[in-house]
Amino acid sequence: MDPILVLASILLTLALVAMPPLIDGVERKVRASIQSRIGPPIIQTWLDLMKLLAKEIKLPESSELAALTALLSVVISVALLCCLAVFTAVRMVSVGAALAIVMLIASLHGLSLLTACTTANPFAAVGSFRRVALTIVNEAGLLLSIALALYSIQISSRSLVPLAISAAMLAISGFANSGRLPYDLHEAEPELASGTVIELSGPLLAAEIYSHLAERMALTALPMYVLFAALAKNLVVRCLGFLAGSIGLWLVFAVTSTVLGRSRVDLAIRSLGAVYASMAIAWTGAVLLC
């Protein structure tokens, strides 16, 4: 393989792995600014993680699997970021690449559900069932949008509209999957408090938080991967565009969630279903017209 591509893959992977807590810090600053607050320093999320890592490991009484699932989550989320970085750098857009990404995202969701379901905490259980309901609808949207994106890339020489629609669908599913408002239902009302992670502390909580942020990064970067890997032939433009686009979309998500309230599980499922259906119809129309 071209050593420049290898170097680009490594640099992009490092950037993606290091960035999530930092961009979360930027998100907190943006949110604070909209809410007339000063907000914490940009590196606060990193500082929080380091402090949690320095604490003793304490396993939840009723959920001994938590340590395993938290560590596996970190490994899988980092693997997901690696895949996205490498696929973008080497411009790999194929069914195989898509399947690898879908498998890793599904594994992450499966693990977080396992963490939630194995706890004896009833609040975490309520949160996890909400998450299951939302994930089922959203995962269907994600799969559909990836399939549509793959087909759109093949016909991108005729029209870019289907690709844009499928990328927008990917962005919406990424937004809903990221657990931001209005879809933070698994840790929704005050009685659920910290939702599914209520029983975790110290390094386990740090692992859970990091994997959650890394997953956010991956879900935000996914539409950018589709767009830049498909369209940008120049390596520098592709890699920088992918990075800048991912950060930009993350911040758009941050602003959007700040000006919205929390949905309810029935409303969320209905509204997401309606959005995916209408976008699929729009995509079909665009394909038929091009």
What does the alpha-carbon distance between residue 206 and residue 102 come to, in Å, rounded to a whole number? Answer: 25
Which of 1, 38, 57, 191: binder of another protein (CB under 8 A)?
191
Least Å from the CB of residue 78 to another protein? 30
Tokens, residue 190? 């005050």
Residue 99 makes contact with another protein by CB under 8 A: no
What does the per-residue mask of binding to another protein show for 197-236, with x meaning CB under 8 A? ----------------------------------------
CA distance 228 to 67: 37
Q: What angle do CA 251, 182, 268 make, to 5 degrees?
A: 135
Q: Between residues 187 and 208, which has the closer beta carbon with respect to another protein?
A: 187
Q: Using the rule CB under 8 A, is 190 a contact of another protein?
A: yes
**By the rule CB under 8 A, 107 interacts with another protein:** no
Q: Tell which one of 6, 7, 34, 47 touches another protein (CB under 8 A).
A: 34
Cβ at position 254, least distance to another protein in Å: 12
Contact 124, 201 (CB under 8 A): no
Residue 159's Cβ-count burial label (10 Å; 0-12, 13-18, 19+) is middle
Report residue 29 as tokens: 């600053």
Contact by Cβ (8 Å): 12, 218: no
If one asks whether residue 117 binds another protein (CB under 8 A), the answer comes out as no
126: contact with another protein by CB under 8 A: yes
Q: Does 56 bind another protein (CB under 8 A)?
A: no
Among 3, 36, 288, 289, indicate the residue that binds another protein (CB under 8 A).
Answer: 36
Write down the least CB distance from residue 45 to another protein, Å: 18
CA distances from 280 to 69, 112, 149 (A): 35, 29, 11
Verify binding: residue 289, another protein, rule CB under 8 A. no
Q: Does 157 bind another protein (CB under 8 A)?
A: no
Taking the least distance from each CB to another protein, the nearer of 143 and 265 is 265
For 108, the token pair is: 């992450």
Region of 195 (left: φ > 0; alpha: ψ -120 to 50; beta: rest) is left
Out of 188, 207, 221, 249, the only residue in the binding site for another protein (CB under 8 A) is: 188
Q: Is 262 left (phi over 0), alpha (psi -120 to 50) or beta?
A: beta
Work out whether 62 is an interface residue with another protein (CB under 8 A): no
The binding site for another protein (CB under 8 A) comprises 31, 34-37, 123, 126, 181-182, 184-185, 188-191, 193, 258-267
